[in-house]
Amino acid sequence: MKALVFNRTLQMKEMTEPKPAEDEVLIRVRMAGICNTDIEITRGYMGFRGVLGHEFVGEVVASDRNEWMGKRVVADINLGCGECEYCRNGLRRHCPQRRVTGILGKDGAFAEFIAYPVTNLFAIPDSISDEEAVFIEPIAAACEILEQVHIEPIHRVAVVGDGKLGQLIARVLRLTGCRMTVYGMSEQKLRLLESLGIETSLSESSMNEKYDVIVEASGSTSGFAKALELIKPRGVFVLKSTMHEATSINTASLVIDEIQLIGSRCGRFEPAVRLMENRLIDVKPLISGIYPFEDAMGAFEEAKKSATLKVLLNFR
């Protein structure tokens, strides 16, 4: 099979088709999305070597369990040991022995086939297209914020970052009815949010407003500093960005203003599937391009451009 592999450089390679273990199925990948994390890995994040890709939808083509054969599926990217305290309590994303698809210890989905544990699979209803299903993993990450922070309609909320993840976070948080502003660098991207009735502001604008909750999703160290300027004393600061470069933090302001700092990563897939199935989130305006997998290298270069949102790889 063909696969997009990172090993100091990014290359399209021929690899042996994976053989599913006893508790796994073989999935033919139908479509995958290029995430900022994929790009950061090529810059050194996590030190990963192997097949990239963790946002995908595919079809089960080999399984010992007949109920999964032919099913269109997405998959939780965190593969826990299944035995530790975290796994037993439904938190395999925090398992000390976990592998993470395309990020830590497991080859990813930028390949024609991938073997996957049955326990991580979620069947996708026909009402959700492949193009939409690719977004379920990052929507789940956006929904995780609402599992960690209670946001009410009276709260003032700011999202710093107008890129792929920031766009999805804003779409999820607006469902709470909160008073929200998204700060970003691109007028074009901010207009997508304005069309939904979301307030926006260019990050370079003067900022006199202070917020109860800040979500930092800019993917940059400057975005982190900008977010700190916006938080109220005793506010909640949610950190979503994953970056390869080190970030210096002035902890004095966190202590003096008694800021609650929350790291936020992956989330449960069930809420994301439900939001998509009930048409509460429209992701199609966020698709900047769909490339055949054979042109994955070109797609990756397009995804790196600042003006680009989500780039998809089509394996069909």
Instruction: CATH number of the domain at 101, please.
Output: 3.90.180.10
| Confidence label for 19 from pLDDT (cuts 50, 70 and 90) | very high
Give yes or no: residues 180 and 240 share one domain: yes
Q: Is position 268 within any domain?
A: no
- In total, how many domains does the chain have? 2
Q: Is position 274 within any domain?
A: no
Q: Is position 278 within any domain?
A: no
pLDDT in tens, 23-72: 999 999 999 999 999 999 999 888 999 999 999 999 999 998 889 999 99
Give yes or no: residues 290 and 256 share one domain: no
185 is in which domain, residue-wise?
Answer: 139-263
Distances in Å between the Cα of 68 and the Cα atoms of 154, 222, 227, 270, 277 are 44, 46, 44, 18, 20
pLDDT, position 65: 84
Give yes or no: residues 116 and 32 share one domain: yes
pLDDT in tens, 201-211: 998 776 678 99
Give yes or no: residues 176 and 241 share one domain: yes
Give yes or no: residues 40 and 150 share one domain: no
Q: Is position 291 within any domain?
A: yes
Give yes or no: residues 179 and 295 share one domain: no
Mean pLDDT of 288-297: 96
| Confidence label for 248 from pLDDT (cuts 50, 70 and 90) | confident
Mean pLDDT of 181-188: 94
Cβ atoms 104, 44 nearer than 8 A: no
Q: Is position 273 within any domain?
A: no
Q: Is position 230 within any domain?
A: yes
Q: What secondary structure does DSSP assign to 158-210, as a single string?
A: EEE--SHHHHHHHHHHGGGT-EEEEEES-HHHHHHHHTTT-EEEETTS-----
pLDDT, position 203: 83
Give yes or no: residues 30 and 122 share one domain: yes
CATH of the domain at 230: 3.40.50.720
The CA distance from 296 to 11, in Å, is: 9
Give yes or no: residues 53 and 122 share one domain: yes
Give yes or no: residues 187 and 252 share one domain: yes
pTM for the model stands at 0.91
- The CA angle 127-143-304, to the nearest 5 degrees, is 85
Mean pLDDT of 188-205: 92
Is the pLDDT score of 108 beyond 90?
A: yes
Give yes or no: residues 120 and 182 share one domain: no
